[in-house]
Structure 1
C-alpha cells in the first residue's frame, strides 16, 4: 500500500508536488491563502486522493495516464478544456479529462476526492467484445442517478477499500472494487463502446452459454475475475453473456459472481472458529469491503446475520 501526504502554504511547493504526483502543470492566479492538504492511498494501479485547497487556483496540465474521477465536496471546479467552460460543485462526480488529454481550468477553494484507475479496466466491460480499447468521450455523467452511483463508488473505494491503513486490502478486494468502479464509469459516461446489439449477441444468449459461464464462475470465484474473463470462458461476447444471464436468470454475470462469493463466505463462516477469525476477515477475503452491505446481503440471502452464523456453536 502506497501512502502519501502533503501539507503546505507555498504555491511553488504545491506546483512542484502536483507536477510530480499527477502530471506536469502550471499554477496561476493571485493567491491570498495558500493552504493545501493532499493525502493519497494507492495499491495495484488504483488510487484515491483527498485534496483541500484554501484558495482559488488556475491550472494548465498535461494529460493523465489513468481514468481520473473527481467527487466534489465543497467549493467549485471550473473545466475550461477545449475552450468550453463547465462548472462542477458539491455533489458532482465527473471525469477530469479522458486519459492522455491535456486539461485546464480553475479550482475555487475546494475540497474533493480523486479516484484514478488504469484505463485497461474499461476494455473488460466493452459489451461488443471488440479488441479496440474503450475511449471515454465525455466528462459529465449522462444522468443524475448515474452520477450519484459513480460518486457512491468513489466514496466506497475511499472509505472502505483504501481507507484503513491498519488493514491493507488483498488482491480480490482491490480487483472487485476496481471492476465495480470501471463498470459504473462506463454506465455513467459517454464512450466508444456504446454500440447497438448485434443479431449474434441475441443468438448466443443460450442456456448452453449460461451453463458454461456458471461452471467457470464456480471454479474461479476466489480469483480476480472480470466480465471479459467470463465471456471468454463461455465463448461469447460480454454483451451476449449479459443477455444470457438476464434472459435465463434475471440477473447479471457480476451480480451472480457476488452471490457465489456470498455463498462461499457463508460456508466459511459455518466452518470457522470464532476464537481465531472474524466476520470482517472472512468478508474481506471474499471481496466484500463494506461490512454493512455484506451484512445486508447476507441477511437477505440467509435470514440471519454473519455474526450469528459465526458464533452459532460458540
Structure 2
C-alpha cells in the first residue's frame, strides 16, 4: 500500500506536489499571502483515496489524468469546474465525476475540504460488459450521479474503502482485500453514474446461461478462491460474457458470481479457523487473508452461515 502526506503554505511547492501526485497542472491563488494545503493519500495499485484541505482560493487547469477521478466535497465550494462543454459548481455533500479519464479539466477551489478518489478505468471492465458487438470500453456518460440515493451509496463506499481497507496497511496489503475493495468501488461507480455498460443479457447470453456454464464458473471459483478474482475472470473461465455469467447465477442459484465467491471464501475461512490453534492466529488475520476487511461484517456473515461467532470456532 502507498501512503503520502503533504503540508505546506508555499503555493509553488503545492503546485509542484499536485503536478506530481495527479497530473501536470497550473494553479494560482487570489488569497493574499496564500494559505496552507494539507493532503493525505492512501492507495492500493488500482485505487487511491485522498483527503485535501486547502484554506485558500485556487484556480486549476489539469491535463488528462488517465484515471477516473471522483470528488466528494466536505466543506467550501468548487466553482466554474469545466470540461468538454460541461460547466458546474459543487458544494458540501456533492459527489461528482471531475472528468472522463482522457479529458482535461479546469476550475476554481474556494477554501475547500474535499475527497479525491481515483481508480483505473480498467476496473469498470472487470465488473461490467461493454456495449455492442465491438465491446467498446465502458465509459461514464454523466458527471453527476443519477439520484441522491446513488450518490449516498457511492459516498458510503468511498468512506468504507478509506476507513476499513486503506486505513490499516496490514489489511490493505492483503491481495484479496485490495481486489475486492477495488471491485466494490468500480461497481458502485457504475451504479451511481450514467454509463455505457449493458446490463441486460442478449439472446446469445440467455442461451449461454445453462447449467454447464454454471458448473464451469463454480469450479473456477472453488479452485481459485484464494486468488484475486474478478467477474470478468470468472466469465472468461466459463467461456461466456459477463452478462451471461451473471444471468446463469441468477437463473440457477438466485445469486451473483461475487456473492458465491464471497461464500466460498467464507467457507475457506471457516475451515482455517477450525484447523488453527488459538495462539497461532487471530480471527482478524484469517478474515483479512480471505478478503474480509471489516471484522464486524465478517463476524455477522460467519454467524449467519455457521450459527456461532468465529472466535468460538477458533477457541474450540
TM-score interval (norm. to shorter): over 0.9
For 1:310 and 1:89, the matched residues in 2 are separated by 48
CA gap of 1:226–1:200, structure 2 versus 1, over 3 A, is same
- Alpha carbons of structure 1 residues 122 and 97: separation in structure 2 relative to 1, 3 Å: same
TM-aligned CA deviation for residue 90 of structure 1: 2.8
| Map of 2:105 onto structure 1 | 103
Pick which of 196-205 and 77-86 moved more: 77-86
Distance 2:230 2:312 in 1: 32
Q: Is the 8 A contact 1:128 1:238 kept in 2?
A: no
Deviation at 1:44, TM superposition (A): 1.9
| CA shift for structure 1 position 38 | 0.5
Aligned 1:137-216 pairs, distance under 5 A: 137-165=141-169, 167-194=171-198, 197-216=201-220
1:173-207 CA distances to partner (integer Å, 9 max, x unpaired)? 11111111111111211222236532111222222
Alignment-derived partner of residue 94 in structure 1: 96
Following the alignment from structure 2 to structure 1, what is the Cα–Cα distance between the partners of residues 95 and 289?
29
Once the two structures are overlaid, the 10-residue window that deviates more, 56-65 or 275-284, is 56-65
1:244/1:44 Cα in 2 relative to 1: closer, same or farther (>3 Å)?
same
Q: How many angstroms does 1:123 deviate by?
A: 1.4
Superimposed CA distance per residue, residues 79-120 of structure 1 (whole angstroms, 9 cap, x where no aligned partner): 222343323333332222111210111222222222222111
Encode CA deviations 1:284-308: one digit per residue, 9 max, x unaligned: 1001111221122122222222222
2:247 paired residue among 239, 243, 266: 243
Confirm or deny that 1:13 pairs with 2:7. Answer: no
How many residues are matched?
312
Instruction: Structure 1 unaligned segments of length 5 or more: list them.
Output: none
Q: Which of 120, 123, 138 is the matching residue for 1:121?
A: 123
1:295 paired to 2:299? yes
Query: CA contact under 8 A between 2:171 and 2:288: conserved in structure 1?
Result: no
DSSP-derived class of the 1:191 partner: coil
Deviation at 1:128, TM superposition (A): 5.0
- 1:180 aligns to what SS in structure 2? helix
CA distance, structure 2, for counterparts of residue 221 and residue 195 of structure 1? 25
Q: Which deviates more from structure 2 when the two are superposed, residues 91-100 or residues 243-252?
A: 91-100
Cα RMSD (Å): 1.9
Deviation at 1:131, TM superposition (A): 4.2
Residue number among 135, 138, 151 corresponding to 1:134 in the alignment: 138
1:98–1:138 CA contact under 8 A, matched in 2: no
8 Å CA contact 2:4–2:40 kept in 1: the answer is yes
Unaligned runs of 5+ residues in structure 2 are none
